[in-house]
Amino acid sequence: MNIYPLKFQSILKERLWGGTKLKEVLNKPIASDITGESWELSTVSGDVSVVSNGVLANTPLNTLIDEFPEALLGKSVVERFGKEFPILIKFIDAKQDLSIQLHPNDELALKRHNSFGKTEMWYVMDADAGAELIVGFNKDVTKAEYAKSLADDALPNLLNYEPVKEGDTFFINTGKIHAIGAGVLLAEIQQTSDVTYRVFDFNRKDKDGNFRELHTEMALDAMDYDKKDDFRVIYGTVLDKANDMVDCPYFRTNFLNLTKDFEQDLAARDAFTIYMCVSGTASISADNGEVAIKKGETVLIPALANRIRIKTDGTKLLEVTI
């Protein structure tokens, strides 16, 4: 495999709740004013990322994995996940509130959907004044209390609302009820899964005048009904080093606030590395190539790369591996 930093074509998704910040803030070539998501790295069926730079341009990510599994993913990742890319990377723009939802764990997702579960994290890149996220309940509730709140159209009264600003980071366990609020632009790192149980949608209708599907029954046994203050991620912001953010079984994320050039040895990592640029600009070089990256772009470093160098006068990056 030709080892160099790989960039991919963004997969843009219209959403009922989407807006224009993906273009206005991140320079994405959106085609409508309700674009809610930009999938940056994906092997979800029907939405497979395609390389946009270098000699491997126009090659789908799953094709690279089929041909070069250990070189791209790393031996340890292949042993665990086979030829599956285990992470899905997105940028999300919520002009309106997203539906209130949750995701099943691995066991339930495998049983019901032949899929991974969906553990995820959010890094807030931009937030309007007063913007909030919904994360968890504001008290311990029973299944009966929850069901009654749905019947009474009163679920929002049981939910916990978190005001947010740029840099705030949240870890969302499977089973935790949640929603991204209006006015929030964020980076999302998650298990490769598109399984979502929507439980409340503010009685909105889609463009065809229909209510969107709810997954009321499936959510009942997937939900964590306890109030848990385990979602805000407190992380270091020391300049010019990798600061630990999230370390879970599905991904590890570090925060890099770089003011000067930075080098990192990857030889012992035995896994791919992803860089999401959440501020500024940089260039990243590895083995046989170098690529520029700016706010709103994502780069994948194959596992076989031994060392990377980041050249910059100022950038903030999320570094993701497994």
Catalytic positions, please?
A: 198
Q: Catalogue the E-assigned strands of 192-321.
A: 197-200, 242-247, 252-258, 262-265, 273-286, 289-294, 298-301, 307-321
Distance, CA of 123 to chain centre:
9
SS3 123: strand
φ and ψ at residue 317, rounded to 5 degrees: -125, 145
Element housing 145 (H / E): helix 143-151
Whether the CB-CB separation of 222 and 102 falls below 8 Å is answered with: yes
Copy the structure tokens of residue 254.
Answer: 């570090």
Task: Name the amino acid, one letter, at 232.
Answer: R
Q: What is the C-alpha to C-alpha distance for residues 226 and 231, in angstroms, rounded to an integer?
A: 13
Which structure tokens are listed for 8? Answer: 């991919």
- Using alpha carbons, select from 78, 51, 109 the residue that is nearest to residue 272: 78
Structure tokens at 317: 């990056």
DSSP state of 155: G
Distance (Å, whole) CA 201 – CA 59: 38
